[in-house]
Chain A
Amino acid sequence: MTKEYETVIGLEVHVELATKTKIFCACSTAFGSAPNTHTCPVCTGMPGSLPVLNKKVVEYAMAVGVATNCEINQYSKFDRKNYFYPDNPQNYQISQLYLPICHDGGVEIETAAGKKTVGIHEIHMEEDAGKLVHDDWEDVSLVDYNRSGVPLIEIVSEPDMRSADEVIAYLEKLRMIIQYLGASDCKMQEGSMRADVNLSVREKGAEQFGTRTEMKNIGSFKAIARAIEAETARQIDIIESGEKVVQETRRWNDEQGYSYAMRSKEDAQDYRYFPEPDLVPIVISDEWLQQIKDNQPELRDEKLARYESEFGLPEYDAQILTSEKKLADLFEATTKLCEKPKKVSNWLMGETMRLLKEHEMDAADLKFSPANLAKLIEMTEAGTINGSVAKEVFEQIFASDVDPESYVEEHGLKSDNDEDALRATIEQIVKDNPQSVEDYHNGKEKAIGFLVGQTMKATKGKANPGIVNKILKEIL
């Protein structure tokens, strides 16, 4: 009989903070600019330059700590992590080892297996490194220091997760909390959220943890799930064959679906951490901490409950709308303007989601303004445009945030609400389709649908289908 195994997983999650400037200098953190245009003596490690801490970084780190139920170290320090690599201009990274800003927290997650709390060991602040660009043509490597000094927090979990499902639920939970705080956009594909997975397996019921491996920088939730499954299987195979798992760092190749060893514990670098002498300790006063606590925005769980109670939305709607901060923001802003929460919810959950999927976009990428969606809803409600025109106009709003009023005007899409003209058109259609009229009178209700369709065709889709129906019935 084969043994039963349990997977034990802990995560180290790096999140790029959404500050305007870098952690230790005034350079911009903007993504995607020409190489080395957001640099200065500090973030390029020029001799004699000194770091100065960006206060906003501390505030974001505190906010994430508070939202994840951490203790905040009101006296915390930076340390230097020493290692040589060209993307790291000083050949040390300023990070926190001995006194990180947050510790001993946790978040509740829910999976098919039920609810549980995943502990957070600590959250620390650190600087990101630059980026190496390999030019195969010239056979040289170049360094872009634009990212050097972009602020990061590293959230280190306890080894509390037991499945890929729990890992994804935990990551979703973190992402949602951090997005709601506005501390980061948490885009995995752009690298503003990155996860290292520490994984070991043990026989079910065993008290000791097995030997763990670490998989670095996996690029998406799906890839993380695949990597966890593959690594679990690999470790079980090793144990079953009577061998021992080696403690090592592995790199997951998602295309090929396997991981390979990068370095073992024996080659592990000695980072020679020591307190950063160029920075003074961070002292957080009671008032400052209270201020952060007072200014915490409404997080998802609170929003979820409020959407049901205040707007009377079904739980299903509330779940989807709060799953992305951008959607929730759009929902609230649009509802405030048009006061039709369910209609707003329908547009966001229906057409918006459909178009996002079609264009392979994230909710975070939505660009249209609440005002234009609110106008569109009001125009539809007032019968100014009909449903199918509304969908057409919404595609324009989605793509380029057009003003629905002027768009409808310019393209002549207004519903034809002139009953006399419409009645004349319908009379003509009834006259031209005697067979349908006869079918209708013979009890074939469907026949009226054909006549409505003919009317819409004749009016180029602008007729109000409700009115068409009403007139048709009168005539018939």
Chain B
Amino acid sequence: MNLLSLTAVELGKKIKAHEVTVEEATRAALDAIHKKEDKINSFVTVDEEGALARAKEVQKGIDDGTYTGPLAGVPVAIKDNMCTKGLLTTCSSKILYNFLPTYTAEAVINLEKAGAVIIGKTNMDEFAMGSTTETSAFGATKNPWNTEHVPGGSSGGSCAAVAAEECYYALGSDTGGSIRQPSSFCGVTGIKPTYGTVSRYGLIAYGSSLDQIGPVAKDVTDCATILEIITSYDKKDSTSVKREDTDFTSALVDDVKGMKIGIPRDYLGEGLDPEVKDAILAAAKKLEEKGAIVEEFDLSLVEYAIPAYYVIAAAEASSNLARFDGVKYGYRTEQYEGLHNMYKKSRSEGFGPEVKRRIMLGSFVLSSGYYDAYYLKALRTKALIKQAFDKAFAKYDVIIGPAAPTTAPKLGESLSDPLKMYLGDVYTVSVNLAGLPGITVPCGQDSKGLPIGLQLIGDCFKEKNIIRAAYSFEQTREYKHSPVAEA
């Protein structure tokens, strides 16, 4: 039996039933990584020793009844921007090439409490800045459907590792689409929860007001299960929200009868690849056939989401990344004269071009004389975008659309034209600006065989609506394993 083809929940059941040991599940993942990493490069760090030791410990915990949850013993890969105590955490940046955190991120602790075995840390765009996982200082990750293509980003390592079946599930983070877009490109499922649902404590910040951690897995059941585990009210994160309706798995119901679903007309217009459009409309049709009421509507301000997002995210990033200065941890330049020269050289050598571009952009929009014109205006736009969604959700339970205008581009295509790459985020960034939950589920493939994802967006705290709709849609098709997974 190929354990890696199982979903996380299926494997969890087998472990609980003592059909598979935690060690077997762990070794299977490690073997898969050894076999596939040359092709995919989805990991920055593989913690073979730690994972095997932990597997024994978790097995004991399962046997003595300490771990009883659905994912006890199931190995997981963590995006490399979440702190893991004593385990290298690099954000795929040279500036953190040697950084060993002194503590573990709250979301990861929640997984550990549920009996997770951390198998390694996944590759990403440097500091989550990018949509292709090509800005990583440790080399690009390849798409398991076609290794000449990118996996998307920034959680490209997590999504590729799941699609390549190097691990059973993964955690990603989503600031402007970084879970939903690579999930779409890699043919897997990923959720970006409502802002404040999963603690950001220990997530190395990119855009603090937009960042959320979320699950990446093969299906909606896995994602709902993982989300239920990582969700917690955390006093250490002031933006954490005390929620009571976090029994997300209760929404795994195949029923969309009477559900009102809207498709923003603007999401289907210019710039959208016709094959992607067809797949989205076909998916809408499926939902309609199941009894949902689907209609197109005008969601205003769609064209302002990208400029507002890039101003706000870059502004926050320029400040968040100031702490990487060569003084306390991480990379410090070898030769320097005095403090300022050390700062300059360490940061010039430690950060890659995309990160520098956003730090400069962010510093610019916050600088005196430009703050009102850019940053404040972007904040106002953000508030208006939220209002536009509020209006839409007064009418619809769920909004659907693509996660990206195209399927995965070829490696190298995006880096040459950053603006084009930014424009590819058109369907995802407004969800972060409005703090909404969003999920991507596979809904088809283009003529090249590359996956297409359907994005479902819910109102704040209404994850259950999108989980139910996504789960219902998922029942209409089979999960497709990527070529690398099957190899």
State yes or no: do A and B come from one complex: yes
Q: Which residues of A contact B (CB under 8 A)?
A: 41, 44-53, 80, 82, 84, 86, 89-92, 143, 270, 272-274, 277-280
A277 touches B368 (CB 8 A): no
Given contacts A272-B363, A274-B315, A278-B238, contact A47 B322 (CB under 8 A): no
B343 touches A48 (CB 8 A): no
Going nearest first, the 7 A-B pairs with the smallest beta carbon separation are A91-B322, A272-B366, A277-B208, A277-B209, A48-B202, A47-B204, A48-B83
B205 touches A48 (CB 8 A): yes
A279 touches B322 (CB 8 A): no
Docked Cα-Cα span, A80 to B320, in Å, equals 10
Q: Which residues of B contact A92 (CB under 8 A)?
A: 319, 322
Docked Cα-Cα span, A90 to B204, in Å, equals 12
Residue B102 at the chain A interface, CB threshold 8 Å:
yes
Chain A: minimal CB distance from B271 (Å): 30
A46 touches B103 (CB 8 A): yes
Residue B105 at the chain A interface, CB threshold 8 Å:
yes
Q: Which residues 189-211 in B have Cβ within 8 Å of A in the complex?
A: 200-205, 207-209
Closest to A87 in B: B327
A279 touches B96 (CB 8 A): no
Given contacts A45-B328, A92-B319, contact A53 B238 (CB under 8 A): yes
Docked Cα-Cα span, A80 to B203, in Å, equals 19
Closest to B325 in A: A91
B102 touches A41 (CB 8 A): yes
A44 touches B328 (CB 8 A): yes
A274 touches B366 (CB 8 A): yes
B208 touches A47 (CB 8 A): no
Residue contacts A-B, CB under 8 angstroms, 29 given: A44-B328, A45-B323, A45-B328, A46-B101, A46-B102, A47-B329, A48-B83, A48-B201, A48-B202, A49-B202, A50-B236, A50-B237, A52-B235, A82-B319, A84-B322, A84-B340, A84-B343, A86-B327, A90-B322, A90-B323, A143-B327, A274-B315, A274-B316, A274-B371, A274-B375, A277-B207, A277-B209, A277-B316, A278-B238
Q: Which residues of B contact A86 (CB under 8 A)?
A: 325, 327, 339
Closest to A83 in B: B322
Chain A: minimal CB distance from B212 (Å): 13
A50 touches B83 (CB 8 A): no
Docked Cα-Cα span, A280 to B316, in Å, equals 15
Residue B294 at the chain A interface, CB threshold 8 Å:
no
Chain B: minimal CB distance from A85 (Å): 8
The one of B99, B238, B319, B363 in contact with A47, judged by C-beta atoms closer than 8 angstroms, is B99
Docked Cα-Cα span, A279 to B236, in Å, equals 11
Q: Which residues of B contact A (CB under 8 A)?
A: 82-83, 89, 91, 96, 99, 101-103, 105, 200-205, 207-209, 235-239, 315-316, 318-319, 322-325, 327-329, 339-340, 343, 363, 366-368, 371, 375
Docked Cα-Cα span, A272 to B365, in Å, equals 9
Q: Which residues of A contact B205 (CB under 8 A)?
A: 47-48, 278
Q: Which residues of B contact A278 (CB under 8 A)?
A: 205, 208, 238-239
Docked Cα-Cα span, A270 to B315, in Å, equals 14
Docked Cα-Cα span, A279 to B205, in Å, equals 14
B82 touches A48 (CB 8 A): yes
Secondary structure class of chain B's binding surface, majority of residues? loop
B96 touches A50 (CB 8 A): no
Q: Which residues of B contact A41 (CB under 8 A)?
A: 102-103
Given contacts A47-B83, A82-B322, A277-B208, contact A52 B236 (CB under 8 A): yes
Q: Which residues of A contact B235 (CB under 8 A)?
A: 52
The one of B103, B239, B325, B343 in contact with A280, judged by C-beta atoms closer than 8 angstroms, is B239
Closest to A47 in B: B204
Docked Cα-Cα span, A143 to B83, in Å, equals 24
Chain B: minimal CB distance from A251 (Å): 18
Q: Which residues of A contact B371 (CB under 8 A)?
A: 272-274
Q: Which residues of B contact A91 (CB under 8 A)?
A: 322-323, 325
Chain A: minimal CB distance from B100 (Å): 11
B237 touches A47 (CB 8 A): no
Chain A: minimal CB distance from B213 (Å): 11
Counted as pairs of residues, one from A and one from B, with CB atoms less than 8 Å apart, the total is 96
Docked Cα-Cα span, A86 to B327, in Å, equals 7
The one of A44, A51, A270, A280 in contact with B368, judged by C-beta atoms closer than 8 angstroms, is A270
Q: Which residues of A contact B328 (CB under 8 A)?
A: 44-45, 89
Docked Cα-Cα span, A273 to B209, in Å, equals 16
Which of B209, B322, B366 is packed against the most chain A CB atoms within 10 Å?
B322
Q: Which residues of B contact A279 (CB under 8 A)?
A: 238
Closest to B315 in A: A274
Q: Given A47-B83, A86-B325, 5 other A-B contacts at CB below 8 A?
A: A41-B103, A46-B103, A52-B235, A52-B236, A278-B238
Closest to A84 in B: B343
Chain A: minimal CB distance from B324 (Å): 8
Q: Which residues of B contact A48 (CB under 8 A)?
A: 82-83, 101, 105, 200-205
Closest to B362 in A: A272
The one of A46, A50, A51, A80 in contact with B319, judged by C-beta atoms closer than 8 angstroms, is A80
The one of B200, B340, B366, B368 in contact with A50, judged by C-beta atoms closer than 8 angstroms, is B200
Chain A: minimal CB distance from B171 (Å): 13
B323 touches A272 (CB 8 A): no
The one of B82, B238, B327 in contact with A51, judged by C-beta atoms closer than 8 angstroms, is B238
Chain A: minimal CB distance from B460 (Å): 15
Closest to B324 in A: A47
Q: Which residues of A contact B82 (CB under 8 A)?
A: 48
Q: Which residues of A contact B238 (CB under 8 A)?
A: 50-53, 278-280
Closest to B127 in A: A47
Chain A: minimal CB distance from B174 (Å): 16
Docked Cα-Cα span, A52 to B233, in Å, equals 14
Closest to A143 in B: B327
Chain A: minimal CB distance from B289 (Å): 43
Docked Cα-Cα span, A197 to B232, in Å, equals 48
The one of A46, A84, A90, A272 in contact with B367, judged by C-beta atoms closer than 8 angstroms, is A272
Docked Cα-Cα span, A92 to B89, in Å, equals 22
A274 touches B203 (CB 8 A): no
Q: Which residues of B contact A53 (CB under 8 A)?
A: 238
Chain B: minimal CB distance from A41 (Å): 6
A274 touches B101 (CB 8 A): no
Q: Which residues of A contact B204 (CB under 8 A)?
A: 47-48
Docked Cα-Cα span, A309 to B248, in Å, equals 69
Docked Cα-Cα span, A402 to B329, in Å, equals 52
Closest to B207 in A: A277
Q: Which residues of A contact B363 (CB under 8 A)?
A: 272
Docked Cα-Cα span, A92 to B319, in Å, equals 7
Docked Cα-Cα span, A82 to B208, in Å, equals 15
Docked Cα-Cα span, A171 to B89, in Å, equals 49
Chain A: minimal CB distance from B83 (Å): 5
Chain B: minimal CB distance from A105 (Å): 28
Docked Cα-Cα span, A274 to B82, in Å, equals 25
The one of B103, B200, B319, B327 in contact with A274, judged by C-beta atoms closer than 8 angstroms, is B319
Docked Cα-Cα span, A89 to B329, in Å, equals 11
Docked Cα-Cα span, A280 to B196, in Å, equals 11
Closest to B364 in A: A272
Docked Cα-Cα span, A41 to B323, in Å, equals 12
Which of A47, A48, A92 is packed against the most chain B CB atoms within 10 Å?
A47
Docked Cα-Cα span, A80 to B318, in Å, equals 11
Q: Which residues of B contact A89 (CB under 8 A)?
A: 323, 328
Chain A: minimal CB distance from B410 (Å): 33
Q: Which residues of A contact B102 (CB under 8 A)?
A: 41, 46
Q: Which residues of B contact A90 (CB under 8 A)?
A: 322-323
Q: Which residues of A contact B239 (CB under 8 A)?
A: 277-278, 280
The one of A49, A82, A272, A277 in contact with B201, judged by C-beta atoms closer than 8 angstroms, is A49
Chain A: minimal CB distance from B150 (Å): 26
Q: Which residues of A contact B339 (CB under 8 A)?
A: 86
Chain A: minimal CB distance from B36 (Å): 29
B101 touches A84 (CB 8 A): no
Docked Cα-Cα span, A400 to B450, in Å, equals 83
Q: Which residues of A contact B368 (CB under 8 A)?
A: 270, 272
